[in-house]
Each structure stands twice: as structure tokens, then as C-alpha cells.
A and B are shown apart, each in its own frame.
Chain A
Amino acid sequence: MAHTAILDHSPTQAGEQSAPALKVRGYWASVVYRLRYDPVTLFFGAIVLLIVLAAIFAPLLAPFDPYRESIIGRLKPFGWRNHLLGTDELGRDLLSRLLYGGRVSLLMGVVPVFIATIVGGSLGIVGGFAGKSVNTAIMRTMDVFYAFPSVLLAVAISGAMGGGITNGMIALSLVFTPAMCRVAETATAQVKSLDFVEAARATGAGTFTILRYHILGNVLGPVFIYASTLVSVGILLASGLSFLGLGVRPPTADWGLMLSTLRQSIYVNPVICALPGAAIFITSICFNLVSDGLRAAMDVRM
């Protein structure tokens, strides 16, 4: 039989593997490699870094005490008596307040996302991997939270618990957890059905070993990308809460709160009133664009 004759040749693997030694990179190294050639992400990443550094080093950078009021110097324009960005409705230096306000806003953007990633992510992985009744119990509970619009839910929770940074962060964490859980659950269920998980089971690996070595690495990518998009939502929601008087309390410097109190002065000095809003906008759009770039760099056909 002709077919058999062909098969009877001794194995010649030369054609299959004579390729020259190509440079082998790990996964994260390859992500960094691709990011290096993405100028948009690099640019906005640099801005995010600047904003974060400015918030961290606010006490060193701020030209004035952000809480020192002045009856005469209210709502003054840019550059008035060394107030680079003018003053607010109580005569406080706006630049200093913006720098300090970034601390609260970034904190309220990042911490709830972090908590939601840990809690929602683990719940989702457990649910997605266990399947059946465990999955139903977890996901239906999360669906209850989904029944409310996220802003309404955040307002309701912090309204019930009272204002303040801590309560605001708890509220935002509760808002983000179901979404995070759903992303992790979907990714886990998808990976779980692939043959390599079955192959790992066939080698006799236990559930935790499979979770640790085979599931986690494939689920963390999507979870991480989703978390990075949530940061900007978190900043916006936190500002919204403060604007409604449910977040931080005056006189704490916070972008949302500043927007709320400056709102009354919009006919007196509209440019100054717009500044906190601009800070919120720039920060959240930079986070968004960076997470877009991250997604593109991490989403490799593998």
C-alpha cells in the first residue's frame, strides 16, 4: 500500500525544527515589549504617573496651605498674588487644593477596585471552577446587586451608612465586586473547559494545583484589564458621591466636592469652577486610554 510505504520512512524531523533559535520571551516580558512600541499608551501612562506623583508629593508641591481661607481673595483669577490657578469661593489656593484633592480621588478610585478585584475575583474563580450549585449561588447573589444601576447603588449604600471616605470606599467596593466577579467567572469557565485542564486532571493533579498552575495564569489577564478600566469609573463615582455630599466632608479637598461647592460661583468665575471637573476628566480619560493600551498589549493570540 502506497500510503504505508510513505509512513515507513524513518522520522525526519529536520524540516520540522530546523528553525534558527529565536529569542524566547516570557509572557509579561512580551507585554512590556509591545507596550514600548505604543506611543499613545506611553504618553498617557506618563500623564497618569505625573498625576499620581503629584498627589503623593502634594505637601511638597503645593505652594499654599489648601485650607487657609481669605475673605478678600475669593474667586480670584489665574495668577492673582502668586495663586497660579486662582482661588476658590473661600479664598483658598486652587492649585494646592487640586493637588491635595487628587489624593482623595485617586485613593477612592484605586482602593475599591483593589478590594473588588480580590473579593469578586476569587468568588468568580471559585464559582466558575466549581460550577453547578456553587456557581448558581454566587452568581445569583451577584445578580441581586446588578438589579440596581451602579450609581444608584453607590448612592444608596453610602447614604445608608453615612458619608466619609471609608464608607464611600466600602460603597464603591460593593458596587464593583459583582462586575469583577462576573468577569472572573466567565474567564474561569472558559479556561476550565479547555483540554489542558482535563489533561492536568488526567495527570492526577488536585483541584488546588490545577487552579494555581493552570487556571490563575489564564484568568488574571482579563481580570487585571477589567480592573484597570474600573479605576476611572471609580474616580468618577467617588467624585459623584462627594458632589452629592455623600463622600468626603468639607473642608477636605476633593475634586468632586470642589466641583460641588464651586458650582454656585459659576457665573462669577466660570474658568475656575471648571478646573476640578477638568482634573477629573483628564485623570479618568488617561486611565482609560492606558487600560486600552494594556488590553491591546496583553490580548495576544496565543
Chain B
Amino acid sequence: MSGCDRVNAISPAPPASDASRDRGGPAQPLLIARDLRKHFKVQGGGGAFVRAVDGVSFTLFKGETLGIVGESGCGKSTLARLLLHLLRPDSGELVFDGDTVAEMRGISVNALRRQVQMVFQDSYSSLNPRMPVRDTVAFGPFVHGKGKAAARDIARSILSRVGLDPDLFGPRYPHELSGGQKQRVNIARALAIEPRMVILDEAVSALDKSVEAQVLNLLRKLKADFNLTYLFISHDLNVVRYISDRVLVMYLGAVVELGPVDEIFSRPLHPYTRALLGSRPSMNPEQRIEEPPITGDPPSPIDPPSGCRFRTRCPFAEPVCEARVPEPGAWTDRASHVAACHIQVPGSGHSQAVAAATGGNA
């Protein structure tokens, strides 16, 4: 894998163990999710289910940052928990670096958790209030069989890597830290067991803008230092644009669009993505948004609309959208740009469907 991985080239200190853990080589995606589903039973709902995640498939390539955006309640956080098996998927398949997860002849959930870590949104409740910061960070290595002293040494070095002086901050309790400092501790905790992939679930959303910028830059630096792959979940489009290589747009538990970040922001294919981008406040008061880009609330995930989920709010909805579920085109590599919309499928029956020549893929 000589220099194929562009992150390796700029990494000042790649962890020694990384090469040995890279089983599939640079071409093998780090994580493949196939048709993940998670339905929650509604309490007292007479057998009704909330379709929180309803058939999500995507591929996470090594060394990239995949941003996941969508409205509140579209299943972003549930998806994150499915990927770590904190919630057990109802159906679907996870493939981590060529190995299926939690299946025969695959790797165990514990082996997955050695390599994938998560940073939670709520920096306060994700730290144990009765545990000094250094013990929180040392907990991961300790669980994975390092001695207490060795685990503390790791915690010291990781704390300094995230910009916290271990002597000053190590013995402190979470309530003695600011929001940004707490989130740095959470990042340190995630990195302490040397994962290859980090899921950042709204990791900077609760921070002040200035602190958010610092933490984002820290995340960028750590990604290079530790040779990481990020799955970055956020509702903040500007932040996603800043940090992501590719973007996945979710609506009501399903993928509506997936593509490189510049493509998504400059040439969105799906009407929902366009509405989402149009909802950003303009930086220029002369160009303020006059019309709402989208109206209404998302339909209930208990009983999503037939066919295309977005058709109830879509300005281009036609009978075909009600009749058939649009499938996102097949993606092949990092440059693929696909959308689950009948307009993007030639011959779908939609009056505005694109001609066959251009196809759905960019």
C-alpha cells in the first residue's frame, strides 16, 4: 500500500500497528453498510413501528470523511448506533474492511469496537461525572487489557495530542471543564484505543462557533496524525461542507443522495437536497431568502408515504412518485454521485426524467 493512501503521505506519525491492521488494502472500503434496517416498536401503538432507519446502504472508503446530513429525526443517530452495534440492526449487513460483522466467519462486535469509536453530541452526559478525565480516557485501553499504569500513560499522551495539558486537566472532573474541553476529552477517549474509524455524531453541534472551529481543526489534524476515517454526522451544512470529502443526505430513514461534497453543494440532484441547501441562511443581507425552500413537516416515520418518501413535500411530485420507490443509482467509486429520485432515472415515467445519455451518475 505504498503511498496509495493519500492520508498516509501527509501523516507525521502513523501508528505502527496500522499497516498490520489494514487487511483489505487501500482499495477495499473500510465499511460497507448494506440495506440496514431498524424499526422501533411503538409503545402501546398496537404493533406499529417507527421506521427509524429503513434500508440504508453506503460505502465508506479508507481515509475519507463521509458527512451525513438530514433533518432532526431522519435516523442519523440511529444509523450511527447501528454501525457500532450499540443497537442491533433488524436486518442488513455490515462489512468492515472485508469482514462481515457479528456473523459466522466474520469479526465479532468487540473486534469491531476495537477499530471503530464514537464521539457523542452531548459532551456533558457522555462523560462520567464521578470519574477524573484521565481515568475516562484510560478506560478504553484498560478494558482492552492494558495495565492501569500503561493505560494512564496512554491517556496522558492522548490528552496532550488533543490539546489538553495532562497535568492540568487529567485529574479534573467533567464539571470543571468547558464545553470545548469536554468535547476534546471525548475525542481523546475515542482515540485512546487507536481506532481506524471514528463516528462523530453531532460532535461539534453543541459548541460555540469559535470553539467549534477549533475542534473541527483539531479533528482534521488528528485525522491526519492517526490515519483515521471519519463518519461525520451533522445537521450543520456549512460544517459538513468544511470537513467532508463526500456527503450522504438522509430523509426519513433512507438515503436520498450521495456524492462528493463539491458536487452535492454545487449540483444537487435530489429536490430534497436542493431544499436543504436552500434553507441555509444567506451570508448576504441583499440576497435574503424570500420564499421558504420547503414547506410542511416530515411525514411520520411510523407510516411513511408510499413510493418516494419525499413526494408529499416535493414540488415535482407526479403519479409515478406515488407508485414506485425510486432507487438510487449504483455507485462505484468515490466520485459517484447518485440520487434516489425518478427525475434522475431515464425512462422512469416522470415527465422531467433525464435523457438516457447523461444517466444518473455524474
Q: Which residues of A contact B (CB under 8 A)?
A: 1-4, 6-7, 9-13, 15-17, 21-22, 24, 26-27, 194-196, 198-206, 209, 213-214, 217-218, 300-302
- Asked whether any CB of chain A lies closer than 8 Å to the CB of B275, the reply is no
- Asked whether any CB of chain A lies closer than 8 Å to the CB of B176, the reply is yes
- Asked whether any CB of chain A lies closer than 8 Å to the CB of B157, the reply is no
Find the B residue at minimum CB distance from A21. Answer: B168
> A198's contact among B86, B132, B163, B238, by CB below 8 Å, is which?
B86
- Asked whether any CB of chain A lies closer than 8 Å to the CB of B276, the reply is no
Count class of interface residues, chain B: 35 or more
A-B pairs, top 5 by smallest CB distance, nearest first, are A195-B126, A302-B129, A217-B130, A203-B140, A204-B113
Contact between A17 and B168, CB atoms less than 8 A apart: yes
Contact between B175 and A301, CB atoms less than 8 A apart: yes
- Asked whether any CB of chain A lies closer than 8 Å to the CB of B171, the reply is yes
A-B contact pairs, 18 of them (CB 8 A): A2-B283, A7-B213, A13-B214, A16-B211, A17-B165, A17-B168, A196-B126, A198-B120, A198-B126, A199-B120, A199-B186, A203-B144, A203-B189, A204-B143, A206-B143, A213-B139, A214-B128, A302-B174
- Asked whether any CB of chain A lies closer than 8 Å to the CB of B354, the reply is no
Which residues of the partner chain A approach B238 to less than 8 Å between Cβ atoms? 1, 3-4
Contact between B181 and A27, CB atoms less than 8 A apart: no
Shortest distance between the CB of A277 and any CB in chain B (Å)? 41
Contact between A195 and B120, CB atoms less than 8 A apart: yes
A16 to B211 alpha-carbon distance, docked (Å): 8
- Asked whether any CB of chain A lies closer than 8 Å to the CB of B110, the reply is yes
Q: Other CB < 8 Å A-B pairs besides A7-B216, A203-B139, A204-B193, 4 of them? A: A7-B242, A21-B168, A213-B139, A217-B131
Contact with A along B206-230 (1 / 0, CB 8 A): 0000110110111001000000000
Shortest distance between the CB of A267 and any CB in chain B (Å)? 57
Find the A residue at minimum CB distance from B215. Answer: A11
Find the B residue at minimum CB distance from A200. Answer: B139
- Asked whether any CB of chain A lies closer than 8 Å to the CB of B84, the reply is yes
Find the B residue at minimum CB distance from A206. Answer: B143
Given A3-B283, A7-B242, A17-B169: A218 in contact with B128 (beta carbons within 8 A): yes
Which residues of the partner chain A approach B175 to less than 8 Å between Cβ atoms? 300-302
Instruction: Give the most central of A2, A3, A7, A203: most B CB within 10 Å.
Output: A203
Which residues of the partner chain A approach B211 to less than 8 Å between Cβ atoms? 16
Contact between B130 and A27, CB atoms less than 8 A apart: yes
Given A204-B113, A217-B131, A301-B175: A195 in contact with B221 (beta carbons within 8 A): no
> B176's contact among A11, A24, A201, A206, by CB below 8 Å, is which?
A24
Contact between B125 and A202, CB atoms less than 8 A apart: no
- Asked whether any CB of chain A lies closer than 8 Å to the CB of B164, the reply is yes
A6 to B209 alpha-carbon distance, docked (Å): 10
Which residues of the partner chain B approach A13 to less than 8 Å between Cβ atoms? 163, 214
> A202's contact among B117, B129, B171, B176, by CB below 8 Å, is which?
B117
Find the B residue at minimum CB distance from A216. Answer: B130
A4 to B163 alpha-carbon distance, docked (Å): 22
A10 to B214 alpha-carbon distance, docked (Å): 8
A11 to B164 alpha-carbon distance, docked (Å): 13
> B114's contact among A12, A204, A214, by CB below 8 Å, is which?
A204
Which residues of chain B in 58-113 are interfacial with respect to chain A, using CB atoms and an 8 Å cutoff?
81, 84, 86, 110, 113
- Asked whether any CB of chain A lies closer than 8 Å to the CB of B127, the reply is yes
Given A6-B213, A9-B213, A17-B164: A199 in contact with B221 (beta carbons within 8 A): no
A302 to B81 alpha-carbon distance, docked (Å): 26
Which residues of the partner chain A approach B248 to less than 8 Å between Cβ atoms? none
Contact between B218 and A11, CB atoms less than 8 A apart: yes
Contact between B125 and A194, CB atoms less than 8 A apart: yes
A4 to B213 alpha-carbon distance, docked (Å): 9
> A10's contact among B171, B217, B241, by CB below 8 Å, is which?
B217
Contact between A17 and B131, CB atoms less than 8 A apart: no
A202 to B189 alpha-carbon distance, docked (Å): 11
Find the B residue at minimum CB distance from A221. Answer: B130
Contact with A along B314-329 (1 / 0, CB 8 A): 0000000000000000
Shortest distance between the CB of B117 and any CB in chain A (Å)? 6
Given A16-B180, A204-B110: A27 in contact with B173 (beta carbons within 8 A): yes
Contact between A16 and B130, CB atoms less than 8 A apart: no
Contact between A205 and B143, CB atoms less than 8 A apart: yes
Contact between A302 and B173, CB atoms less than 8 A apart: yes
Contact between A22 and B176, CB atoms less than 8 A apart: yes
Contact between A16 and B126, CB atoms less than 8 A apart: no
A224 to B136 alpha-carbon distance, docked (Å): 24
A47 to B126 alpha-carbon distance, docked (Å): 42
Contact between A203 and B125, CB atoms less than 8 A apart: no
Contact between A196 and B125, CB atoms less than 8 A apart: yes
Given A204-B110, A218-B129: A11 in contact with B120 (beta carbons within 8 A): no
Which residues of the partner chain B approach A206 to less than 8 Å between Cβ atoms? 143
Shortest distance between the CB of A193 and any CB in chain B (Å)? 9
Which residues of the partner chain B approach A302 to less than 8 Å between Cβ atoms? 129-130, 173-175
A7 to B209 alpha-carbon distance, docked (Å): 9
Contact between B214 and A11, CB atoms less than 8 A apart: yes
Instruction: Give the most central of B139, B168, B241: most A CB within 10 Å.
Output: B139
Which residues of the partner chain B approach A198 to less than 8 Å between Cβ atoms? 81, 86, 120, 126
Which residues of the partner chain B approach A9 to less than 8 Å between Cβ atoms? 213, 217
A12 to B215 alpha-carbon distance, docked (Å): 10
Which residues of the partner chain B approach A17 to less than 8 Å between Cβ atoms? 163-165, 168-169, 181
A195 to B174 alpha-carbon distance, docked (Å): 14
Given A11-B221, A195-B122: A203 in contact with B193 (beta carbons within 8 A): yes
Which residues of the partner chain A approach B130 to less than 8 Å between Cβ atoms? 27, 217-218, 302
Given A217-B130, A218-B129, A302-B129: A203 in contact with B214 (beta carbons within 8 A): no
- Asked whether any CB of chain A lies closer than 8 Å to the CB of B300, the reply is no
Find the B residue at minimum CB distance from A15. Answer: B210
Contact between B113 and A203, CB atoms less than 8 A apart: yes
Contact between B125 and A195, CB atoms less than 8 A apart: yes
A174 to B170 alpha-carbon distance, docked (Å): 44
